[in-house]
Structures are given as C-alpha cells and as structure tokens.
C-alpha cells in the first residue's frame, strides 16, 4: 500500500480548444473536471492499475467537498483534514498539437495546527505502507521545509519516502534524506542553479541531490524520456507519444508506475515511462489504466550517451 500526501490539492478543469488566441472569445471542444494535485494523481494512477493507495490531503470549502466526492467516485480512499481555507481550482487549456497552457491558483494558507493534523494522519497510516509519497507545492503559510520535516519523522520510523516538489522544498527534501526524489528537468535545473543542456548535465545535477542526502533520483524530461540515478549507476529511457493530448499529470503517472514496479532499476524506469506516456495521450489530468499503457514503445538505455543534447524545452511533467 502506498500513502500519498498532497498539501495543496486542487480541482483541475481541463478545456480543449482548437487554438488559443489571447484576447479572443474561444469556444471549447471538450471539458473535463478531475481531482488534482501531484499526490492525488499518484494515488489515482496507482488505483487505476490495481495498486492500493490512500490519499491524505487538506480540504476546505465547497471545492474541497467536490474534490473528495470526485476522488471517492474513482475509488480513492481519502483521509481529509478540514481546513479554514478554500481548496484551489486550476485551469488547463489544451490545443490539438499537445500545447498546454495551465493557470494554477496559489491555494489556501495552511496553518500549523492543520499541518500537524495532516502529519498525525500520515504517521498513523504509514505503519503498513510500502511508501509514503509527498507531492506538490508547499501551501502559503508554511515553511519551505514542511515536507522535509515530515520526511524526517517518517524516515526515523523506517518508512521509505518519495518526494516530488520544487524550489527550496526540493533541496530541503534532499537534505532530509528522502529515499526517492522525482524532479522534472526545470525543477532540477532550478534547485542546482545551472542550465541542463545534455544528459550529462542532468546526471551531474541528480548526483548533487544524492550528495545532499537523497537516495534515488528520477528526473522526468518530457519528450526526452527520463533518467534514473541511484547507487547502481545511471539508466535512461524514452517512450514516444504519437498523439499527445495533455502533459498534466504525466510526471505523477511516471512516479506511480516507478513505485508500482519496485522503484529500482531499468524495469521500474520502463514501467514508469509507460505510465507517463499513457497519461500524455489522455485528455486533461486523466490517469491511465492497464489498457492505456505504452509498454511496447519503451526503449531503455542502460549505458546512455551523456553528451546527447536535450530538446530546447521539455514539456512540464
């Protein structure tokens, strides 16, 4: 069983349009409303593929109630902590060529007492968990080391912890000894303070996170695939998508697949890539099930050419 923690969950409304023109009235072709937030998406992807998961999250206002209803409709077990603020809503505009424009609200402030209640819920469920996954942005009102504090408490009782966040929170999670970190290319570049032009740059940056204290690092690179860096070495892989529809949640699906496959080695990376590519082929932030997976299209490179340049800009994941 895998417990996910999302401190800043959301309602995600995805709207497909023929083209996005600033200042014009645009008519949508389709629209989807899904539960949102990185950890929420990890739980959704796991459950869609038969892997037990529990989602722990703060919830406030009508939006929070709707988020919980949507999750329960998908069969997600939710441990919701009531908060005084209102759960945020995000909007995604997707064009036919796969271009995605996303507008994210900052989310409500989370008070210390509310965070303490979330922490208590997590520690209570962590005893029978294979992993606890801490995901997403740190809400307003909390320090950058909010995930790191929880990571240390979990590691102290022998729980494996995966973290997918960004900025100072990502550095703090590495320093706290997270078992696994899953940044994307831009998040990794930001935390180490340098540009990443080729695979070698990505590997060097991932190794810095390991020097800071992290165990395994998986870096999602959008159309360039993903890189796994751990004590056993470096593995890369790719999985092309012929008709991309939305990159929202692709990195979350990748992380879910990697964890579901044992979180170690080329086989786990391949599974993660298959799940991530499948998510890109689906609208909005839908998570893939077994029939959607792209396993046959995955290519693993156990001895990658680290001088291979990356695409100029990788889609967010």
Secondary structure of the chain as H, E, C letters: CEEEEECCCEEEEEEEECCCCCCCCCCEEEEEEEEECHHHHHHHHHHHCCCCEEEEEEECHHHHHHHHHHHHHCCCEEEEEECCCCCEEEEEEECCCCCEEEEECCCCCCCHHHHHHHHHHHHHHHCCCCEEEEECCCCCCCCCCHHHHHHHHHHHCCCCEEEECCHHHHHHHHHCCCCEECCEHHHHHHHHCCCCCEHHHHHHHHHHHHHHCCCEEEEECHHHCEEEEECCEEEEEECCCCCCCCCCCHHHHHHHHHHHCCCCHHHHHHHHHHHHHHHHCCCCCCCCCHHHCCHHHCEEECCCCCCCECCCCCCCC
Question: Cα-atom radius of gyration of the chain, to the nearest Å?
Answer: 18
Instruction: Single out the catalytic residue among 34, 201, 230, 252.
Output: 252
Q: Would 311 be classed as within a structural domain? A: no
Residue range 179-187: mean pLDDT, rounded: 97
Is the pLDDT assigned to residue 301 strictly greater than 80? Answer: yes
For the segment 93-109, the average pLDDT, to the nearest whole number, is 88
**Is 310 within a domain?**
no
| 283 located within any domain | yes
Give the model's confidence band at 317: pLDDT under 50 very low, under 70 low, under 90 confident, else very high.
very low
Catalytic status, residue 252: yes
Q: Tell me how far apart the terminal alpha carbons of the chain are, to the nearest angstrom.
A: 24
- With a cut of 70, say whether residue 215 has pLDDT above it: yes
Q: Cα separation of 75 and 62, whole Å?
A: 20
The answer on pLDDT for 220 being more than 80 is yes
The pLDDT of residue 290 = 96
Residue 11: half-sphere exposure toward Cβ, Cα within 13 Å: 20
The gap from C-alpha 173 to its chain's centroid, in whole angstroms, comes to: 15
Does pLDDT of 82 surpass 90?
A: yes
| Residue-wise pLDDT tens digits, 226-250 | 999 999 999 999 999 988 888 889 9
In a domain? residue 313: no
Q: How confident is the model at residue 310 (pLDDT cuts 50, 70, 90)?
A: confident
Say if residue 207's pLDDT is above 50: yes
Q: Given this model, what pLDDT does residue 313 score?
A: 54
Confidence at 115, pLDDT banded by 50, 70, 90: very high
Domain contains 7:
yes
Q: Which domain holds residue 159?
A: 2-19+28-301
Residue 317 lies in a domain: no
Tell me what the pLDDT averaged over the chain comes to. 93
Instruction: Answer whether residue 105 is part of any domain.
Output: yes
How much is the pLDDT for 97? Answer: 82
- Please report where in the chains the tokens 């990794």 appear, as a residue: 188
Whether residue 166 is contained in a domain is answered as yes
Decide which of 80 and 311 is more confident: 80
Q: What percent of the chain has pLDDT over 70?
A: 97
CATH code of the domain in which 136 resides: 3.40.1190.20
Whole-prediction pTM: 0.91
Does the structure show a pLDDT above 70 at 314? Answer: no
Total of domains in the chain: 1
Please give the residue that has the higher pLDDT: either 22 or 315. Answer: 22
Higher pLDDT, 273 or 315: 273
**pLDDT at residue 237 in the model:** 96
DSSP bridge partners of 93: 15, 101
CA distance 172 to 272: 25
Token pair listed for 245: 């529809």
Distances (CA, A) of 63 to 36, 83, 159, 272, 289: 11, 12, 32, 31, 26
Lowest mean pLDDT among 36-45, 179-188, 249-258, 306-315: 306-315
Beta bridge partners of 70: none
Neighbour tally for 113: CB within 10 Å: 10
b/e per residue 29-43 (b: at least 16 CB within 10 A): eeebbbbbbbbbbbb
Q: What is the pLDDT of residue 315?
A: 44
Is the distance from CB of 193 to CB of 210 less than 8 angstroms? no
Distance of CA 92 to the CA centre of its chain: 16
Most confident region among 13-17, 106-110, 170-174 by mean pLDDT: 170-174
Roughly what angle, to the nearest 10 degrees, separates helices 167-175 and 199-212?
Answer: 60
CA distances from 299 to 86, 269, 274, 280, 307 (A): 43, 10, 10, 17, 18
């Amino acid at each position: 069983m895998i417990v996910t923690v999302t401190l800043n969950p959301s309602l995600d409304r995805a709207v497909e349009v023929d083209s996005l023109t600033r200042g014009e009235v645009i008519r949508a072709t389709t629209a989807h409303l899904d539960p949102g937030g990185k950890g929420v998406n990890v739980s959704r992807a796991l459950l869609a593929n038969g892997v037990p998961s529990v989602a722990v999250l703060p919830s406030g206002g009508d939006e929070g109630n709707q988020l919980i209803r949507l999750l329960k409709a998908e069969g997600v077990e939710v441990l919701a902590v009531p908060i005084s603020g209102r759960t945020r809503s995000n909007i995604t505009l997707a064009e036919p060529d796969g271009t995605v424009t996303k507008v994210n609200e900052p989310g409500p402030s989370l008070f210390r007492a509310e965070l303490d209640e979330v922490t208590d819920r997590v520690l209570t469920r962590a005893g029978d968990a294979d992993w606890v996954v801490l995901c997403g942005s740190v809400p307003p009102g909390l320090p950058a080391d909010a995930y790191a504090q929880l990571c240390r408490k979990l590691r102290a009782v022998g729980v494996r912890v995966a973290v997918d966040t960004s900025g100072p929170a990502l550095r703090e999670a590495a320093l706290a000894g997270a078992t696994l970190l899953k940044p994307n290319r831009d998040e990794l570049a930001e935390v180490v303070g340098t540009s990443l032009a080729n695979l070698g740059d990505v590997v060097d940056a991932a190794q810095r996170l390991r020097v800071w204290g992290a165990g395994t690092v998986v870096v999602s690179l959008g159309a360039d695939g993903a890189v796994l860096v751990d004590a056993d070495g470096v593995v890369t892989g790719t999985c092309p998508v012929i008709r991309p529809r939305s990159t929202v949640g692709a990195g979350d699906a990748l992380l879910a697949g990697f964890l579901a496959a044992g979180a170690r080695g080329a086989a786990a990376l391949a599974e993660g890539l298959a799940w991530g590519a499948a998510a890109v082929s689906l609208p909005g932030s839908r998570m893939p099930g077994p029939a959607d997976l792209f396993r046959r299209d995955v290519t693993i490179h156990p001895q990658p050419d680290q001088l291979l340049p990356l695409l100029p800009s990788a889609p967010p994941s």
